[in-house]
């Protein structure tokens, strides 16, 4: 494997090195192919498989063929430690993923994202003291970005799980700007030293400051912006992984990190566009964190019985279901699919209107409904479903709130004003399924509940839908 193929500009090229480089190229192709398949729900499972295959290939060839700057391979002891660690992590990840509920999937994504950021941060922390490391700027950047991704993702996990609330955004943005400026100044100071390795204590200060910044950066961000934040943190983890790849001159890490970082960045910008907000306003605005009742019209809540709702649905021509996080909490995806099939058997057209930021992470409800075998062509994006609202007989809002809140269109003083929503109020009839009159994740009142064409069906979404199925069956 170490036979020299050729020498160019003083550098030797061996058989093992050629195989390693080819494996990285093949891994990169598998990464890109996997991402392409991930762009469509029906091929997403295959996309995960091929991308994972590329990562496994890169890991195996790196373990067998990678050499350091001195031409030394990974020692037996290191190889055993690496294999044991990878095996333990794989088993732990498998167990956690098998046990997690769909309602907790956003938290799981945040937790996994945090581990990636921490790994990259530790690479930067450890490699800074390596006298052979000539990429000090990249090392410090990897340390900072990875630390922010780690602590920020852990705070996102806590907020999504309801363990952590919001911190006042009015002053936090100034604190964050000061910390970010301090990180910049400290990085420059370390790099300007004649012997940067001699000021290692400042690297630990940099590490601690970056962790604090990650915490304070996410704390002010309100619930309605959490899907955007998760996507942004995922992008930072990818960037940190790419920087770690530059430290080790490992093309597979660089390519993988760049792909994750680019995909996360594109998704973040697309979601900001879907919410009609700039990325800066998401980061510093604390959107959805207050309890403003702007747009609260008051009025009388009108309820509907299960039997009346069943009759209304059974004799409709077009029904649109708008799912929200409440559907995931109630685990009602299979029941709502049963209702969909039953109504279609009676000649009713049923579609699902999916808002880009419904749920707690990008694509949350798409995955949830796909798990229940809802046909992909029935999952209609916001812009397209809005074109059909005026001709829709009944809109069923299942556990959604902010994404159908008319305040986004009608009340300039509302915290969500300007955010595109699914215009459920334009339908002839609206049935809202909720446990009670609690406010949504953004913490503001929803005037839709008081409109003349809206009826409330209170109770657990799964139970309510099952009762509807039973009633429709009797008609």
3-class SS of residue 416: coil
pLDDT of residue 453: 92
> pLDDT tens-digit profile of 21-38?
889 999 999 999 998 888
- Is residue 301 over pLDDT 90? no
* Residue 221 neighbours by CB under 8 Å, 6+ apart: 159, 166, 169, 229, 282, 283, 286, 287, 289
Q: Residue range 39-44: average pLDDT? A: 77
pLDDT of residue 439: 59
Least confident range from 74-83, 204-213, 284-293, 364-373: namely: 284-293
Which residues face 396 on adjacent strands?
321, 431
> pLDDT tens-digit profile of 263-275?
888 888 887 877 7
pLDDT of residue 289: 44
Where is pLDDT greater, at 294 or 345?
A: 345
Residue spans of beta strands (DSSP E) within 274-423: 318-323, 349-354, 379-381, 394-398
Q: Residue range 50-57: average pLDDT? A: 93
pLDDT of residue 224: 62
pLDDT of residue 101: 76
Question: 299: pLDDT confidence band, cut at 50, 70 and 90?
Answer: low
pLDDT of residue 292: 42
CATH code for residues 306-474: 3.40.50.1220
The pLDDT mean for the chain works out to 84
Least confident range from 184-188, 199-203, 412-416: namely: 412-416
Q: Residue range 302-314: average pLDDT? A: 93
pLDDT of residue 71: 62
DSSP letters spanning 243-299? HHHHHHT-HHHHHHHHHHHHHHHHHHHHHHHHTT--HHHHHHH-TT-S---TT----
Spatial CA neighbour of 141 closest among 207, 78, 82, 86:
207
pLDDT of residue 402: 81
Q: How far is CA 152 from CA 89, 113, 233, in A?
A: 22, 10, 7
Question: 298: pLDDT confidence band, cut at 50, 70 and 90?
Answer: low
Q: Residue range 349-375: average pLDDT? A: 84
Active site residues: 402
Q: How is residue 19 written in tokens?
A: 């195989």
Q: Residue range 351-370: average pLDDT? A: 82
How far apart, in whole angstroms, are the C-alpha atoms of residue 403 and residue 287?
14
pLDDT of residue 328: 82
How far apart, in whole angstroms, are the C-alpha atoms of residue 154 and residue 150?
6
Q: Residue range 407-436: average pLDDT? A: 85
Q: Which residue intervals of the chain bear CATH 3.40.50.1220?
A: 306-474
> pLDDT tens-digit profile of 115-151?
999 999 999 998 888 877 778 899 999 999 999 999 9
Which range is most confident: 215-219, 235-239, 296-300? Answer: 235-239
Question: 69: pLDDT confidence band, cut at 50, 70 and 90?
Answer: low
- Is residue 367 over pLDDT 90? no
- Is residue 395 over pLDDT 80? yes
Question: 438: pLDDT confidence band, cut at 50, 70 and 90?
Answer: low
- Is residue 212 over pLDDT 80? yes
pLDDT of residue 369: 87
pLDDT of residue 171: 73
In contact, 295 and 407? CB cutoff 8 Å: yes
- Is residue 441 over pLDDT 70? no
Q: Residue range 176-192: average pLDDT? A: 91
């Amino acid at each position: 494997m170490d036979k020299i193929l050729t020498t160019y500009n003083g550098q030797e090229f061996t058989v093992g090195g050629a195989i390693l480089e080819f494996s990285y190229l093949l891994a990169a192709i598998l990464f890109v192919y996997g991402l392409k398949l991930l762009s469509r729900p029906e091929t997403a499972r295959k996309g995960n498989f091929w991308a994972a295959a590329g990562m496994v290939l890169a890991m195996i060839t790196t373990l067998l063929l990678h050499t350091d700057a001195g031409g030394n391979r990974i020692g037996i002891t290191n190889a055993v430690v690496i294999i044991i660690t990878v095996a333990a992590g794989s088993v732990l990840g498998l167990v956690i993923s098998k046990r997690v509920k769909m309602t907790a999937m956003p938290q799981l994504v945040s937790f996994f994202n945090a581990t990636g950021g921490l790994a990259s941060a530790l690479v930067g922390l450890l490699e800074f003291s390596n006298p052979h490391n000539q990429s000090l700027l990249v090392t410090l950047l990897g340390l900072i970005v990875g630390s922010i991704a780690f602590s920020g993702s852990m705070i996102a996990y806590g907020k999504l799980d309801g363990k952590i609330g919001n911190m006042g955004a009015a002053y936090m943005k100034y604190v964050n700007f000061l910390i970010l400026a301090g990180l910049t100044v400290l990085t420059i100071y370390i790099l300007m030293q004649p012997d940067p390795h001699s000021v290692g204590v400042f690297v630990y200060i940099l590490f601690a400051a970056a962790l604090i910044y990650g915490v304070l950066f996410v704390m002010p961000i309100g619930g309605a912006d959490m899907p955007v934040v998760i996507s942004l943190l995922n992008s930072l983890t990818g960037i940190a992984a790419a920087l770690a790849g530059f430290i080790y001159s490992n093309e597979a890490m660089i390519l993988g990190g760049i792909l994750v970082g680019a995909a996360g960045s594109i998704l973040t910008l697309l979601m900001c566009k879907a919410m009609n907000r700039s990325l800066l306003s998401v980061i510093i605005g604390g959107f959805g964190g207050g309890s403003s009742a702007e747009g609260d019209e008051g009025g009388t809540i009108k309820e509907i019985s299960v039997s009346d709702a069943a009759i209304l649905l059974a004799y409709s021509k077009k029904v649109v279901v708008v799912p929200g996080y409440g559907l995931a909490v109630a685990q009602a995806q299979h029941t709502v699919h049963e209702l969909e099939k039953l109504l279609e058997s009676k000649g009713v057209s049923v579609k699902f209107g999916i808002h880009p930021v419904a749920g707690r992470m990008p694509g949350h409800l798409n995955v949830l409904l796909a798990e229940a075998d809802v046909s992909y062509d029935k999952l209609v994006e916001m812009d397209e479903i809005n074109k059909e609202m005026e001709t829709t007989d009944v809109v069923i809002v299942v556990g959604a709130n902010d994404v159908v809140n008319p305040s986004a269109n009608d009340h300039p003083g509302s915290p969500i004003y300007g955010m595109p929503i699914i215009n459920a109020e334009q339908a002839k009839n609206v049935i809202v399924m909720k446990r009670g009159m609690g406010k949504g994740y953004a913490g503001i009142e929803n005037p839709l509940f008081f409109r003349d064409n809206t009826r409330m069906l209170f109770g657990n979404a799964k139970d309510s839908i099952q009762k509807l199925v039973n009633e429709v069956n009797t008609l």
